[in-house]
Amino acid sequence: MSSNAQLMARRRAAVARGVGQAFEIFVERARNAELWDVEGQRYIDFAGGIAVLNTGHCHPRVVEAVQQQLTQYTHTCFQVVAYEPYVALAEKLNALAPGEFAKKTLLLSSGAEAVENAVKIARAYTQRSGVIAFTGGYHGRTLMTLGLTGKVQPYKSGFGPFPAEVFHAKFPNALHGVSIDEAIASVEQIFKNDIEAERVAAFIVEPVQGEGGFYIAPVEFVRRLRELADRHGILLIADEVQTGAGRTGTWFACEQWGVAPDLITTAKSLAGGFPISGVVGRAEVMDAPAPGGLGGTYAGSPIACAAALAVLEVFEQEKLLARSQALGERLVQRLTAIAETQPAIGDVRALGAMVAIELFAVENGRADLRRPDADLTRRVVADAARRGLILLSCGTNGNVIRFLVPLTASNALIGEGLDILQASLVAVQR
């Protein structure tokens, strides 16, 4: 059997270097919130394949559903010969999305594809071209979604030009001094400086910025955005690729807004490790593109549909929405306690189980919020990996550690992971 080092050497020779890799390890097998590398080393997985494993690695019900699907058919292309699991998943997502109006769903394969299609649908419905996204937002790696993404390094650098008619307003961030008023004023500013409101098709916003740093969009902000949208005939798109599928304590994070977006994008944990994504939204908006305007060869694969339907069952059976809330509270409690002895932790924040800590340089025994510490963050993540914990960082300043542990992980395992985090924080600052 090959070692991690041997596989890394083959990877370096064979795989484009633009594909990043957080850790120099290769997986052999994974179950729930643990994985084992090719050398037999065990890791606790707090990354969940970047927010994909809310139901854990290889949930038995998901595996069983996929195995069953494999015995029937694996691919026909929904646009050629349709199949029931696609329709069943669309029905379920329509019922789960907030808003007192009829809904329809389009299924695809990746998060970026969902965002691309949400923009296409919004443009087709409004017959307008402009899109307003937010600073620090992340929407994917295709050219339109890179245009929407509000962070240059490493995503956008060298890949332009990006599609026209995309503008960035400020995302509110109390910790870093951007008020809700300022954020809303920056939207109005775009209407004055860049594009008239009557030509804007949509706002696109993450309920909690994911790659950008786990910053939570305040409810007052999204309500004011909804008001602006209504006043000007603009659609509101919630990009729930990372926040959706139960991560924040509700199936969609926007259920907590009290106002409904017109379109929601979803992906990642929806199918517990199988590639599927979707756009769910107002029926008349979803029906704007003409037949043939939407789709894709693999879009809404029956294998991934079967997995997603099983994930929804698991959420019900194992009461994972309540678990998401309780797990978030547990993590915040423990991380707050760790922060008391670790002044570099300048903030602990959470929406449900979407939890993060933010690390800063320490001045006079306190975090200096003007000095994000990306280097410390990198050292903590690397040290934790050596001790058997997979952590993920994020944030425009690279100084946020995010917690995306499966909701199905036991409290004991999560405790073990947090012990490692604490030991790493101590070790790298000695």
Q: Which residues bind to ligand PMP, rule: CB under 6 A?
A: 50, 110-112, 115, 138-140, 206, 210-211, 239, 241-242, 267
Q: Which is nearer to ligand PMP, 45 or 211 (CB)?
A: 211
Report the nearest approach of ligand PMP to the CB of residue 39 (Å). Answer: 28
Q: Which is nearer to ligand PMP, 23 or 155 (CB)?
A: 155
Report the nearest approach of ligand PMP to the CB of residue 359 (Å). Answer: 21
Q: Which is nearer to ligand PMP, 111 or 406 (CB)?
A: 111
Q: Which is nearer to ligand PMP, 46 or 138 (CB)?
A: 138
SS3 assignment for the chain: CCCHHHHHHHHHHHCCCCCCCCCCCCEEEEEECEEEECCCCEEEECCHHHHCCCCCECCHHHHHHHHHHHCCCCCCCCCCCCCHHHHHHHHHHHHHCCCCCCEEEEEECCHHHHHHHHHHHHHHHHCCCEEEEECCCCCCCCHHHHHHCCCHHHHHCCCCCCCCCEEEECCCEHHHCECHHHHHHHHHHHHHHCCCHHHEEEEEECCECCCCCCCECCHHHHHHHHHHHHHHCCEEEEECCCCCCCCCCCCCHHHHCCCCCCEEEECHHHHCCCCCEEEEEEHHHHCCCCCCCCCCCCCCCHHHHHHHHHHHHHHHHCCHHHHHHHHHHHHHHHHHHHHHHCCCEEEEEEECCEEEEEEEEEECCEEEEEEECHHHHHHHHHHHHHCCEECEEECCCCCEEEECCCCCCCHHHHHHHHHHHHHHHHHHHC
Report the nearest approach of ligand PMP to the CB of residue 206 (Å). Answer: 5
Report the nearest approach of ligand PMP to the CB of residue 144 (Å). Answer: 11
Chain centroid offset of residue 43 CA: 22
Nearest residue to 238 via CA among 267, 206, 210:
206
In contact, 300 and 279? CB cutoff 8 Å: no
Q: Which is nearer to ligand PMP, 86 or 138 (CB)?
A: 138
Q: Which is nearer to ligand PMP, 236 or 338 (CB)?
A: 236
Strand order in the sheet with 389-390: 27-31, 34-37, 42-45, 389-390
Report the nearest approach of ligand PMP to the CB of residue 149 (Å). Answer: 9
Report the nearest approach of ligand PMP to the CB of residue 113 (Å). Answer: 7
Q: Which is nearer to ligand PMP, 110 or 377 (CB)?
A: 110
Report the nearest approach of ligand PMP to the CB of residue 341 (Å). Answer: 32
Q: Which is nearer to ligand PMP, 346 or 406 (CB)?
A: 406
Report the nearest approach of ligand PMP to the CB of residue 275 (Å). Answer: 8
Report the nearest approach of ligand PMP to the CB of residue 22 (Å). Answer: 13
Q: Which is nearer to ligand PMP, 354 or 362 (CB)?
A: 354
Q: Which is nearer to ligand PMP, 242 or 377 (CB)?
A: 242
Report the nearest approach of ligand PMP to the CB of residue 50 (Å). Answer: 6
Residue nearest to ligand PMP (CB): 111
